[in-house]
Structure 1
Amino acid sequence: MAGQGVKPIASLLLGLNFCMYAIVAAISGWALNVAIDRGFIIGPGLVLPAHFSPVFFPIGNAATGFLVIFALIAGVVGAAAAIAGVHHIRTWNYDSLPSAASSGIVAWALTLLAMGLACKEIELKGRNACLRTVEAFLIILSATQLVYILAIHGVRRI
């Protein structure tokens, strides 16, 4: 089958993307846990602060809540897309391409959404090292996921 030359590239990108998506999901999960543990608790007799946001995160800035939630979703969907991609890499035929390509495109779209929020968070400044790691990984993943999608479409009929 033609297109066997891009199979090693697609395999490398698949492994890289899986590891990066897992790291993004883990750090985003940690940040969500911090927000739940340190968040504002409304008890009897307490009122909401003047600028309270339902997506309040005690770390980072105003965009952190949205970034963490969308990065967590993108990380989980991206890792699942990588698992679907393993089947395509193993078989490398037209029957396995649609599932790998569609899940990869959905993961890429969610990664682009999270990357846009990461860019907004970078613009607002005031975040810690873990959030900067998530931002960097999302920016890198937006490119590597696109290259992976293009590589798996390298399968051509003879």
Structure 2
Amino acid sequence: MAGGLRSVAGLLLLLNFCMYAIVLGIGSWAMNRAIDHGFIIGPGLNLPAHFSPISFPMGNAATGFFVIFAMIAGVVGIAAAISGLNHLRRWDGGSLSAAATAATISWTLTCLAMGFGCKEIELNTRNARLKTMEAFMIILSATQLLYIAAIHGAASMSRI
């Protein structure tokens, strides 16, 4: 049974790695667009009263927070996948703690980004790329949790 959970964990790890890479790609596009087409003020002019450095030229008021936290979750998720790959290679208790800790931190950041994504969905003004990123974050919050359960389940099975 633990061997089956090991293959499930490997499949989830590969899926999560690819999805986090896609989230980073879309997030990088959104960040680049915000920097290139954001609010530009000339010399000698004052900032508007309600200026926010997190405002993005696309989406709505939650877009800036969503993109920033999704990118942080993506970077940490890829790092967790690298740690998880080491755990899959070794598959012992020493590597489990590092993989489980990294995966749990990644999952919590993913859930935080998913919360901003849900707020962005509620506010309803966004483009197709942001909708794709929101969907990926929602799916990643579930698959990352399943990955954590798989590596912990396999560890508890091997102790029996």
- Does the alignment reach a TM-score above 0.5? yes
Paired letter, 2:142: A
CA drift of 1:94 comes to: 0.6
Aligned residues: 157
Match of 2:7 in 1: 8
User: Where in structure 2 are the equivalents of 1:29-68 lying within 5 Å?
Assistant: 29-68=28-67
Identify the residue that residue 71 of structure 2 maps to in structure 1: 72
| CA distance in structure 1 between the aligned counterparts of 2:97 and 2:24, rounded to whole angstroms | 25
Task: Supply the AA of the counterpart residue of 2:79.
Answer: A
- 1:157 aligned partner: 159
Per-residue deviation, 1:131: 0.3
Q: CA RMSD in A?
A: 1.1
Alignment of 1:9-158 (within 5 A): 9-153=8-152, 154-155=154-155, 156-158=158-160
Deviation at 1:50, TM superposition (A): 4.1
Unaligned runs of 5+ in 2: none
Distance in 2 between residues matched to 1:5 and 1:128, nearest whole Å:
40
TM-score scaled by length of structure 2: 0.94
- Runs (4+) off by over 3 Å: none
Secondary structure of 1:96's aligned partner? helix
Q: Whole-Å Cα distance in 2 between the matches of residues 8 and 29 of structure 1?
A: 31
Structure with the higher fraction of residues in helix conformation: 2
Compare 148-157 and 105-114 and name the one that shifted more: 148-157
The Cα shift of 1:27 comes to 0.5
Q: Give, as a single letter, the amino acid of the residue that structure 1 aligns with 2:159.
A: R
- For structure 1, list consecutive stretches of 5 or more residues without a partner in the other structure: none
Q: Aligned partners of 1:140 and 1:51: how far apart in 2?
A: 34
Amino acid at match of 1:5: G
The whole-number CA distance in structure 1 between the counterparts of 2:32 and 2:135 is: 21
